[in-house]
Structure 1
Amino acid sequence: MKHYNAYLFDFDYTLADSSRGIVMCFRRVLERHHYSQVTDNEIKRTIGKTLENSFSILTGVTDTDTLAAYKKEYVKEADVYMTANTFLFPETAEVLNGLKKRGAKIGIISTKFRYRIMELLSKHFPTDFFDIIVGGEDVKTAKPSPEGLLFAMQRLGCSKEETLYIGDSTVDAETAQAGGTDFAGILHGATTREELEAYPHTVVADSLRILI
Protein backbone atom coordinates (compact mmCIF):
# COMPACT_ATOMS: atom_id res chain seq x y z
CA MET A 1 0.00 0.00 0.00
CA LYS A 2 0.96 3.67 -0.29
CA HIS A 3 3.71 4.97 1.99
CA TYR A 4 2.76 7.91 4.21
CA ASN A 5 4.92 10.43 6.03
CA ALA A 6 2.86 10.10 9.22
CA TYR A 7 1.03 7.14 10.74
CA LEU A 8 -1.31 8.11 13.57
CA PHE A 9 -2.87 5.29 15.57
CA ASP A 10 -5.77 4.76 17.89
CA PHE A 11 -4.59 2.86 20.98
CA ASP A 12 -7.16 0.45 22.46
CA TYR A 13 -7.83 -2.52 20.17
CA THR A 14 -5.44 -1.04 17.58
CA LEU A 15 -1.97 -1.15 19.13
CA ALA A 16 -2.90 -2.90 22.37
CA ASP A 17 -5.49 -5.29 23.74
CA SER A 18 -6.74 -3.57 26.87
CA SER A 19 -10.11 -5.33 26.81
CA ARG A 20 -9.40 -7.43 29.91
CA GLY A 21 -8.58 -4.35 31.97
CA ILE A 22 -11.43 -2.29 30.51
CA VAL A 23 -14.03 -4.98 31.15
CA MET A 24 -12.70 -5.47 34.67
CA CYS A 25 -12.91 -1.77 35.51
CA PHE A 26 -16.33 -1.26 33.95
CA ARG A 27 -17.70 -4.34 35.68
CA ARG A 28 -16.50 -3.22 39.10
CA VAL A 29 -18.26 0.14 38.69
CA LEU A 30 -21.40 -1.28 37.06
CA GLU A 31 -21.91 -3.98 39.66
CA ARG A 32 -21.35 -1.49 42.45
CA HIS A 33 -24.37 0.35 41.07
CA HIS A 34 -26.39 -2.86 40.45
CA TYR A 35 -25.99 -3.07 36.66
CA SER A 36 -25.08 -6.74 36.74
CA GLN A 37 -26.90 -7.65 33.51
CA VAL A 38 -24.36 -5.94 31.19
CA THR A 39 -22.34 -8.48 29.19
CA ASP A 40 -18.60 -8.39 28.46
CA ASN A 41 -19.32 -8.03 24.75
CA GLU A 42 -21.56 -5.02 25.36
CA ILE A 43 -18.70 -3.39 27.26
CA LYS A 44 -16.19 -4.25 24.51
CA ARG A 45 -18.48 -2.67 21.89
CA THR A 46 -18.09 0.70 23.64
CA ILE A 47 -14.26 0.70 23.56
CA GLY A 48 -13.10 3.85 21.78
CA LYS A 49 -15.94 6.02 23.05
CA THR A 50 -15.62 8.42 25.97
CA LEU A 51 -16.23 6.94 29.41
CA GLU A 52 -19.34 9.08 29.81
CA ASN A 53 -20.78 7.86 26.51
CA SER A 54 -19.91 4.27 27.33
CA PHE A 55 -21.58 4.37 30.74
CA SER A 56 -24.65 6.04 29.22
CA ILE A 57 -24.92 3.31 26.55
CA LEU A 58 -24.46 0.51 29.10
CA THR A 59 -26.80 1.87 31.79
CA GLY A 60 -29.27 4.15 30.03
CA VAL A 61 -28.29 6.95 32.42
CA THR A 62 -28.17 10.42 30.85
CA ASP A 63 -27.64 12.62 33.93
CA THR A 64 -24.26 14.30 33.45
CA ASP A 65 -23.40 14.39 37.18
CA THR A 66 -24.07 10.67 37.56
CA LEU A 67 -22.01 9.83 34.48
CA ALA A 68 -19.17 12.04 35.75
CA ALA A 69 -19.27 10.14 39.05
CA TYR A 70 -19.12 6.78 37.24
CA LYS A 71 -16.16 8.05 35.22
CA LYS A 72 -14.35 9.10 38.40
CA GLU A 73 -14.90 5.64 39.89
CA TYR A 74 -13.67 3.98 36.68
CA VAL A 75 -10.46 6.03 36.66
CA LYS A 76 -9.70 4.95 40.23
CA GLU A 77 -10.19 1.30 39.24
CA ALA A 78 -8.06 1.77 36.12
CA ASP A 79 -5.21 3.22 38.20
CA VAL A 80 -5.03 -0.18 39.90
CA TYR A 81 -5.92 -2.68 37.21
CA MET A 82 -5.46 -1.27 33.70
CA THR A 83 -1.77 -1.42 32.85
CA ALA A 84 -1.26 -4.91 34.29
CA ASN A 85 -4.14 -6.14 32.13
CA THR A 86 -3.13 -4.45 28.85
CA PHE A 87 -0.95 -6.17 26.24
CA LEU A 88 0.53 -5.09 22.93
CA PHE A 89 -0.69 -7.09 19.95
CA PRO A 90 1.99 -9.54 18.71
CA GLU A 91 2.87 -7.48 15.62
CA THR A 92 2.71 -4.00 17.20
CA ALA A 93 6.41 -3.51 18.00
CA GLU A 94 7.52 -5.02 14.69
CA VAL A 95 5.26 -2.74 12.67
CA LEU A 96 6.06 0.44 14.60
CA ASN A 97 9.79 -0.22 14.37
CA GLY A 98 9.42 -0.91 10.65
CA LEU A 99 7.66 2.40 10.09
CA LYS A 100 10.31 4.26 12.11
CA LYS A 101 13.11 2.68 10.08
CA ARG A 102 11.34 3.85 6.93
CA GLY A 103 11.58 7.41 8.29
CA ALA A 104 7.87 7.86 9.00
CA LYS A 105 6.56 9.83 11.94
CA ILE A 106 4.31 7.88 14.29
CA GLY A 107 1.84 8.97 16.91
CA ILE A 108 -1.24 8.04 18.90
CA ILE A 109 -4.63 9.76 19.06
CA SER A 110 -6.82 8.20 21.74
CA THR A 111 -9.67 8.89 24.12
CA LYS A 112 -7.59 7.09 26.76
CA PHE A 113 -5.60 9.29 29.15
CA ARG A 114 -2.11 10.02 27.82
CA TYR A 115 -0.44 9.14 31.12
CA ARG A 116 -2.08 5.70 31.04
CA ILE A 117 -0.88 5.08 27.48
CA MET A 118 2.64 6.19 28.37
CA GLU A 119 2.67 3.96 31.46
CA LEU A 120 2.28 0.89 29.26
CA LEU A 121 4.47 2.06 26.37
CA SER A 122 7.37 2.85 28.71
CA LYS A 123 7.68 -0.90 29.30
CA HIS A 124 8.25 -1.57 25.57
CA PHE A 125 9.69 1.53 23.86
CA PRO A 126 12.25 4.30 24.52
CA THR A 127 10.87 7.54 25.94
CA ASP A 128 11.18 9.47 22.67
CA PHE A 129 9.99 6.64 20.39
CA PHE A 130 6.65 8.25 19.50
CA ASP A 131 6.63 11.64 17.80
CA ILE A 132 3.36 12.61 19.48
CA ILE A 133 0.75 11.15 21.84
CA VAL A 134 -2.60 12.89 22.17
CA GLY A 135 -4.77 11.56 24.98
CA GLY A 136 -8.25 12.32 26.18
CA GLU A 137 -7.04 15.04 28.53
CA ASP A 138 -5.34 16.91 25.65
CA VAL A 139 -8.50 17.85 23.68
CA LYS A 140 -11.74 19.69 24.34
CA THR A 141 -13.80 17.45 22.07
CA ALA A 142 -13.26 13.70 21.91
CA LYS A 143 -13.26 11.54 18.79
CA PRO A 144 -14.97 11.43 16.34
CA SER A 145 -14.12 15.12 16.53
CA PRO A 146 -10.93 15.55 14.48
CA GLU A 147 -9.43 17.96 17.04
CA GLY A 148 -6.70 15.59 18.24
CA LEU A 149 -5.91 14.38 14.73
CA LEU A 150 -5.63 17.91 13.33
CA PHE A 151 -3.51 19.00 16.31
CA ALA A 152 -1.11 16.09 15.75
CA MET A 153 -0.73 16.83 12.03
CA GLN A 154 -0.04 20.47 12.78
CA ARG A 155 2.60 19.60 15.40
CA LEU A 156 4.25 17.08 13.08
CA GLY A 157 4.12 19.40 10.05
CA CYS A 158 2.29 16.82 7.96
CA SER A 159 -0.54 17.46 5.53
CA LYS A 160 -3.76 15.44 5.38
CA GLU A 161 -2.57 13.83 2.16
CA GLU A 162 0.61 12.50 3.83
CA THR A 163 -1.16 11.14 6.91
CA LEU A 164 -2.84 7.79 7.55
CA TYR A 165 -5.06 7.30 10.59
CA ILE A 166 -5.34 3.70 11.81
CA GLY A 167 -8.06 2.41 14.10
CA ASP A 168 -10.40 -0.44 14.93
CA SER A 169 -13.79 1.24 15.39
CA THR A 170 -16.39 3.27 13.54
CA VAL A 171 -15.43 6.16 15.82
CA ASP A 172 -11.94 6.00 14.33
CA ALA A 173 -13.32 5.84 10.78
CA GLU A 174 -15.47 8.89 11.49
CA THR A 175 -12.45 10.70 12.97
CA ALA A 176 -10.37 10.14 9.85
CA GLN A 177 -13.27 11.22 7.65
CA ALA A 178 -13.79 14.39 9.69
CA GLY A 179 -10.06 15.13 9.64
CA GLY A 180 -9.73 14.57 5.89
CA THR A 181 -7.10 11.82 6.16
CA ASP A 182 -6.97 8.32 4.71
CA PHE A 183 -8.16 5.57 7.06
CA ALA A 184 -6.95 2.02 7.66
CA GLY A 185 -9.24 -0.25 9.64
CA ILE A 186 -7.75 -3.02 11.79
CA LEU A 187 -9.93 -5.94 12.87
CA HIS A 188 -8.46 -6.43 16.34
CA GLY A 189 -11.60 -5.36 18.16
CA ALA A 190 -15.34 -5.89 18.37
CA THR A 191 -16.15 -3.92 15.20
CA THR A 192 -16.79 -6.04 12.11
CA ARG A 193 -15.24 -5.74 8.66
CA GLU A 194 -18.64 -4.76 7.24
CA GLU A 195 -19.05 -1.95 9.77
CA LEU A 196 -15.62 -0.49 8.94
CA GLU A 197 -15.98 -0.92 5.18
CA ALA A 198 -19.13 1.24 5.30
CA TYR A 199 -16.79 4.23 5.75
CA PRO A 200 -14.17 5.64 3.36
CA HIS A 201 -11.04 3.54 3.81
CA THR A 202 -7.73 2.68 2.21
CA VAL A 203 -7.73 -0.83 3.62
CA VAL A 204 -9.46 -2.97 6.24
CA ALA A 205 -7.15 -5.74 7.45
CA ASP A 206 -6.78 -8.38 10.13
CA SER A 207 -3.34 -7.18 11.21
CA LEU A 208 -1.18 -4.07 11.47
CA ARG A 209 1.37 -5.85 9.27
CA ILE A 210 -0.53 -4.54 6.23
CA LEU A 211 1.22 -1.22 6.93
CA ILE A 212 4.70 -2.62 6.22
Structure 2
Amino acid sequence: MKNITTLLFDLDGTLINTNELIIASFLHTLDYYFPNQYQREDVYPFMGPTLVETFSSIDPDRVDEMVERYRTYNLAKHDELVTEFDGVYDTIRTLKENGYKLAIVSTKMRNTVIKGLKLMNLYDFFEVIVALDDVTEPKPHPEPLQKALAALGSTPEEAMMIGDNYHDIEGGKNAGTLTAGVSWSVKGKEFLQTFDPDYMLDTMSELLDILQVSTVNK
Protein backbone atom coordinates (compact mmCIF):
# COMPACT_ATOMS: atom_id res chain seq x y z
CA MET A 1 0.00 0.00 0.00
CA LYS A 2 0.98 3.66 -0.18
CA ASN A 3 3.34 5.02 2.45
CA ILE A 4 0.77 6.29 4.94
CA THR A 5 2.07 8.84 7.44
CA THR A 6 -1.15 10.59 8.40
CA LEU A 7 -4.40 9.33 9.90
CA LEU A 8 -7.58 11.39 10.05
CA PHE A 9 -10.22 10.09 12.44
CA ASP A 10 -13.87 10.84 12.88
CA LEU A 11 -14.76 11.00 16.57
CA ASP A 12 -18.35 9.97 17.33
CA GLY A 13 -19.01 6.31 16.74
CA THR A 14 -15.42 5.78 15.60
CA LEU A 15 -13.07 6.54 18.50
CA ILE A 16 -15.60 7.08 21.27
CA ASN A 17 -18.97 5.46 21.76
CA THR A 18 -21.36 8.37 21.74
CA ASN A 19 -24.17 6.37 20.14
CA GLU A 20 -26.39 6.26 23.22
CA LEU A 21 -25.73 9.94 23.93
CA ILE A 22 -26.63 10.99 20.39
CA ILE A 23 -29.74 8.82 20.25
CA ALA A 24 -30.91 10.08 23.65
CA SER A 25 -30.25 13.69 22.63
CA PHE A 26 -32.27 13.35 19.44
CA LEU A 27 -35.15 11.60 21.19
CA HIS A 28 -35.17 14.21 23.97
CA THR A 29 -35.32 17.03 21.42
CA LEU A 30 -37.80 15.46 19.04
CA ASP A 31 -40.12 14.32 21.80
CA TYR A 32 -40.38 17.91 22.99
CA TYR A 33 -41.57 19.15 19.59
CA PHE A 34 -43.25 15.98 18.29
CA PRO A 35 -44.38 13.91 21.30
CA ASN A 36 -44.35 10.14 20.78
CA GLN A 37 -43.64 10.42 17.04
CA TYR A 38 -40.03 9.20 16.97
CA GLN A 39 -38.58 5.87 18.06
CA ARG A 40 -34.97 4.88 18.53
CA GLU A 41 -34.53 3.44 15.01
CA ASP A 42 -36.00 6.60 13.49
CA VAL A 43 -33.01 8.69 14.51
CA TYR A 44 -30.28 6.44 13.08
CA PRO A 45 -30.31 8.32 9.73
CA PHE A 46 -29.66 11.55 11.65
CA MET A 47 -26.33 10.30 12.95
CA GLY A 48 -23.54 11.73 10.81
CA PRO A 49 -24.99 14.85 9.17
CA THR A 50 -24.72 18.17 10.99
CA LEU A 51 -27.50 19.09 13.40
CA VAL A 52 -28.52 21.97 11.15
CA GLU A 53 -28.91 19.60 8.20
CA THR A 54 -30.95 17.16 10.23
CA PHE A 55 -33.28 19.61 11.94
CA SER A 56 -33.72 21.60 8.73
CA SER A 57 -35.17 18.46 7.15
CA ILE A 58 -37.61 18.07 10.05
CA ASP A 59 -38.73 21.62 10.87
CA PRO A 60 -36.99 24.43 8.93
CA ASP A 61 -38.67 27.12 11.03
CA ARG A 62 -37.28 25.95 14.37
CA VAL A 63 -33.79 24.78 13.50
CA ASP A 64 -31.88 27.07 15.85
CA GLU A 65 -33.96 26.29 18.92
CA MET A 66 -33.90 22.57 18.19
CA VAL A 67 -30.12 22.63 17.84
CA GLU A 68 -29.84 24.53 21.12
CA ARG A 69 -32.11 22.09 22.95
CA TYR A 70 -30.14 19.14 21.56
CA ARG A 71 -26.75 20.59 22.53
CA THR A 72 -27.87 21.57 26.03
CA TYR A 73 -29.06 18.04 26.75
CA ASN A 74 -26.08 16.49 25.00
CA LEU A 75 -23.57 18.39 27.12
CA ALA A 76 -25.47 17.69 30.33
CA LYS A 77 -25.50 13.94 29.69
CA HIS A 78 -22.10 13.68 27.97
CA ASP A 79 -19.93 12.16 30.69
CA GLU A 80 -22.72 9.88 31.89
CA LEU A 81 -23.45 8.26 28.51
CA VAL A 82 -20.15 8.29 26.59
CA THR A 83 -18.06 5.10 26.77
CA GLU A 84 -14.93 3.80 25.06
CA PHE A 85 -14.62 1.29 22.24
CA ASP A 86 -12.38 -1.71 22.85
CA GLY A 87 -8.84 -1.30 21.61
CA VAL A 88 -9.06 2.35 20.64
CA TYR A 89 -6.79 3.80 23.32
CA ASP A 90 -4.03 1.23 22.83
CA THR A 91 -4.17 1.55 19.04
CA ILE A 92 -4.04 5.35 19.04
CA ARG A 93 -1.22 5.34 21.58
CA THR A 94 0.75 2.86 19.45
CA LEU A 95 0.25 4.94 16.31
CA LYS A 96 1.46 8.04 18.12
CA GLU A 97 4.48 6.18 19.50
CA ASN A 98 5.33 5.07 15.98
CA GLY A 99 5.40 8.61 14.65
CA TYR A 100 2.11 8.85 12.79
CA LYS A 101 0.49 12.27 12.40
CA LEU A 102 -2.98 12.13 13.93
CA ALA A 103 -5.97 14.45 13.50
CA ILE A 104 -9.65 14.53 14.38
CA VAL A 105 -12.05 15.60 11.61
CA SER A 106 -15.53 15.90 13.10
CA THR A 107 -18.93 17.43 12.43
CA LYS A 108 -19.22 18.27 16.14
CA MET A 109 -18.40 21.61 17.69
CA ARG A 110 -14.81 21.96 18.89
CA ASN A 111 -15.61 22.24 22.61
CA THR A 112 -17.58 18.98 22.52
CA VAL A 113 -14.85 17.21 20.54
CA ILE A 114 -12.29 18.20 23.16
CA LYS A 115 -14.62 17.15 25.96
CA GLY A 116 -14.98 13.66 24.48
CA LEU A 117 -11.26 13.25 23.78
CA LYS A 118 -10.32 14.28 27.30
CA LEU A 119 -12.94 12.01 28.86
CA MET A 120 -11.40 9.00 27.08
CA ASN A 121 -7.79 10.16 27.67
CA LEU A 122 -7.17 10.57 23.92
CA TYR A 123 -6.70 14.32 23.71
CA ASP A 124 -2.89 14.40 23.98
CA PHE A 125 -2.43 12.05 21.02
CA PHE A 126 -3.91 14.42 18.44
CA GLU A 127 -1.93 17.28 16.92
CA VAL A 128 -4.86 18.76 15.00
CA ILE A 129 -8.62 19.01 15.50
CA VAL A 130 -10.88 20.23 12.71
CA ALA A 131 -14.41 20.64 14.04
CA LEU A 132 -17.66 21.97 12.63
CA ASP A 133 -16.95 25.52 13.78
CA ASP A 134 -13.59 25.48 11.96
CA VAL A 135 -14.99 25.06 8.45
CA THR A 136 -17.48 26.49 6.00
CA GLU A 137 -18.41 23.13 4.48
CA PRO A 138 -18.62 19.95 6.64
CA LYS A 139 -17.89 16.39 5.48
CA PRO A 140 -18.41 14.93 2.91
CA HIS A 141 -17.06 18.15 1.40
CA PRO A 142 -13.25 17.85 1.30
CA GLU A 143 -12.64 21.14 3.13
CA PRO A 144 -12.32 19.68 6.69
CA LEU A 145 -9.89 16.98 5.53
CA GLN A 146 -7.91 19.44 3.44
CA LYS A 147 -7.64 21.76 6.43
CA ALA A 148 -6.38 18.94 8.66
CA LEU A 149 -3.84 17.81 6.06
CA ALA A 150 -2.55 21.35 5.61
CA ALA A 151 -2.14 21.79 9.35
CA LEU A 152 -0.20 18.53 9.56
CA GLY A 153 1.92 19.28 6.50
CA SER A 154 0.66 16.15 4.75
CA THR A 155 -0.61 15.32 1.28
CA PRO A 156 -3.77 13.31 0.50
CA GLU A 157 -1.63 10.55 -1.01
CA GLU A 158 -0.06 9.80 2.37
CA ALA A 159 -3.28 9.96 4.40
CA MET A 160 -6.20 7.76 5.39
CA MET A 161 -9.62 8.83 6.70
CA ILE A 162 -11.20 6.47 9.23
CA GLY A 163 -14.87 6.76 10.20
CA ASP A 164 -18.20 5.13 10.92
CA ASN A 165 -20.40 6.99 8.47
CA TYR A 166 -20.69 7.54 4.74
CA HIS A 167 -19.73 11.20 5.25
CA ASP A 168 -16.30 10.00 6.33
CA ILE A 169 -15.83 7.65 3.39
CA GLU A 170 -17.10 10.13 0.81
CA GLY A 171 -15.12 12.92 2.47
CA GLY A 172 -11.96 10.86 2.15
CA LYS A 173 -12.64 10.06 -1.49
CA ASN A 174 -13.40 13.71 -2.24
CA ALA A 175 -10.13 14.77 -0.61
CA GLY A 176 -8.11 12.04 -2.33
CA THR A 177 -7.15 10.00 0.74
CA LEU A 178 -7.47 6.30 1.40
CA THR A 179 -10.52 5.41 3.49
CA ALA A 180 -11.41 2.92 6.20
CA GLY A 181 -14.84 2.17 7.61
CA VAL A 182 -15.47 0.69 11.05
CA SER A 183 -17.82 -2.26 11.40
CA TRP A 184 -19.13 -1.07 14.79
CA SER A 185 -21.02 1.74 13.06
CA VAL A 186 -24.54 1.96 14.46
CA LYS A 187 -25.79 1.88 10.86
CA GLY A 188 -24.11 -1.48 10.29
CA LYS A 189 -21.11 -2.80 8.41
CA GLU A 190 -23.12 -3.67 5.30
CA PHE A 191 -24.42 -0.11 4.99
CA LEU A 192 -20.93 1.34 5.16
CA GLN A 193 -19.55 -1.17 2.67
CA THR A 194 -21.92 0.15 0.01
CA PHE A 195 -19.77 3.30 -0.08
CA ASP A 196 -16.73 1.21 -1.00
CA PRO A 197 -14.11 2.14 1.62
CA ASP A 198 -10.59 0.92 0.86
CA TYR A 199 -10.58 -0.99 4.15
CA MET A 200 -13.14 -2.19 6.68
CA LEU A 201 -12.05 -2.54 10.29
CA ASP A 202 -13.71 -5.08 12.58
CA THR A 203 -11.52 -3.86 15.45
CA MET A 204 -9.48 -0.69 15.72
CA SER A 205 -6.33 -2.72 16.28
CA GLU A 206 -6.67 -4.08 12.71
CA LEU A 207 -5.46 -0.66 11.59
CA LEU A 208 -2.02 -1.58 12.97
CA ASP A 209 -1.96 -4.69 10.80
CA ILE A 210 -3.00 -2.75 7.68
CA LEU A 211 -0.26 -0.19 8.30
CA GLN A 212 2.18 -2.92 9.36
CA VAL A 213 2.89 -1.10 12.59
CA SER A 214 4.91 -2.83 15.23
CA THR A 215 3.48 -2.73 18.76
CA VAL A 216 7.03 -2.12 19.95
CA ASN A 217 8.22 1.48 19.84
CA LYS A 218 10.47 2.41 16.96
> What TM-score results when the alignment is normalised by the length of structure 1?
0.90
Q: Unaligned stretches of 5+ in structure 2?
A: 209-218
Runs (4 or more) in structure 1 with deviation over 6 Å come to none
1:133-187 deviations in Å (ceiling 9; x for gaps): 1111111111111111000001101111110000011111111111111000001
Q: How far does residue 40 in structure 1 lie from its aligned partner after superposition?
A: 1.2
Instruction: Give the conservation status (yes or no) of the 8 Å contact 2:8–2:160.
Output: yes
Query: What whole-Å deviation, never above 9, does each CA across 1:58-86 have from its counterpart, x for those lacking one?
Result: xx33x2x4122211111111221123211
1:102 maps to which residue?
98
Aligned to 2:215: none
- How many residue pairs were aligned? 208
* Secondary structure of the corresponding residue to residue 166 of structure 1: strand
Listed as ranges, the matches of 1:77-156 within 5 Å are 77-125=73-121, 128-156=124-152
- The percent of aligned pairs where both chains have the same amino acid is 29
Q: CA RMSD in A?
A: 1.8
Query: What is the aligned partner in structure 1 of residue 20 from structure 2?
Result: 20
Structure 1: which 5+ residue stretches go unaligned? Answer: none
Aligned-partner residue type, residue 133 of structure 2? E
CA deviation after TM superposition for structure 1 residue 28, in Å: 1.4
CA distance in 1, matches of 2:164, 2:47: 10
The alignment status of 1:74 with 2:74, answered yes or no, reads no
C-alpha distance in 2, partners of 1:18/1:145?
A: 23
The yes-or-no answer on 1:39 pairing with 2:23 is: no
Find the aligned partners of 1:94 and 1:88 in 2 and give their Cα distance: 11
Match of residue 204 from structure 2: 208
Q: C-alpha distance in 1, partners of 2:79/2:143? A: 26
Contact persistence 1:83–1:116 (CA under 8 A): no
In the alignment, the residues of structure 2 paired with residue 3 and residue 15 of structure 1 have an alpha-carbon distance, to the nearest angstrom, of 23
TM-score, scaled relative to structure 2:
0.88
Question: Deviation digits for residues 64-123 of structure 1, max 9, x if unmatched?
Answer: x41222111111112211232111212110110111111101111001111112112223
1:108 and 1:127 mapped to 2: Cα distance? 10
Tell me the residue number matched to 2:158. 162
